Amino acid sequence: MNVKDKVAVCSRSFSGNSILRAELLARYQHVTFNDAGIQLKGDSLVEFLRGHKKAITALEILDESVIARLPELEVVGKYGVGLDMIDMKAMRAHGKRIGWTGGVNRRSVSELVVSFAIAMLRHVPLANREVLSGTWRQHVGGYLTGRTVGIVGCGHVGKDLVTLLRAFDCPILANDIRDYSDFYAVNGIKAVALDELLMQSDIVSLHVPLDESTSNLLNAKRLALLKPAAVLINAARGGIVDEMALKEMLQTKRLAAAAFDVFSVEPPRDMELLSLPNFLVTPHIGGSAHEAILAMGRAAIIGLDENQVPSIDFAN
């Protein structure tokens, strides 16, 4: 145990978890938790982190303007798997180190995706709304079993989703910039171009990070490739899908349904989109399972001691 290192825990979820608190305090004596439950950003984030050598962050944005004002901060342990909120170029420039483990919440996200797919195929959100409003009407849906699922991004979560879909005998198409040919061969997956995946899939699930190459990846032109009966699922990152174009497609029934856990702006403000009967929304809960929270928290704790200055291809 290093009693000299001061640690700041920005994450409200981590700070409120008694198990993670105890495990961190077993390693570090001087810890500042976000017990006030404040959403830290900009100046408030700098003030919270100031005077600490190490930090655990989640969705807090660590950009150049924040990193440059924290010369004493040496290490960031990442709570969660997304890295789009951390400016890796600035981290390298200022000699900061990061401890990160990919895929620690994969089962939490992949199970949510399966629940989304079944819910939308069986019209669960719409049926629930109608019953609560006094309408008792049976909706005829369809099986997940046997439907073609397109997975955009076959990393940790995408691979885990493949495992769960075996029970449903789903033909699977995959698109990824990396070569996973061995995994595809073992699991009977067909690797295809993105446009082909969108045209052929009954369900499309997104599992790519948000960066320059994936921002607005599914723009209006690409969304128009989807089957009218398809279901689009995004439990990855907001900003990957053109939400305005998506809303128009759902309104005009050119797309049957969509389920999103993430948005370009959170919380989302487009109430027209959120209130559509063929749209299911959750508040970024992909990693919010008890088991995943512990796994992410423990990875962040380990990251305080096992870390590196991020390279150009960090996390790839």
Q: Are strands 149-152 and 97-99 parallel, antiparallel or unpaired?
A: unpaired
CB 50 within 8 A of CB 277: no
Q: Which residues are catalytic?
A: 237, 266, 284
CB 274 within 8 A of CB 131: no
CB 197 within 8 A of CB 204: yes
Q: Which of 236, 242, 244, 276 is nearest to 260 (CA)?
A: 236
Task: Output the DSSP codes for 75-100.
Answer: EEEESSS--TTB-HHHHHHTT-EEE-
How would you label 241-280 residue by residue, b for 16+ Cβ within 10 Å and e otherwise? Answer: bbbebbbebbeeeebbbbbbbbbbeeebeeeebeebebbb
CB 161 within 8 A of CB 205: yes
Contacts of 8 (CB under 8 A, 6+ apart): 31, 32, 48, 49, 52, 54, 55, 56
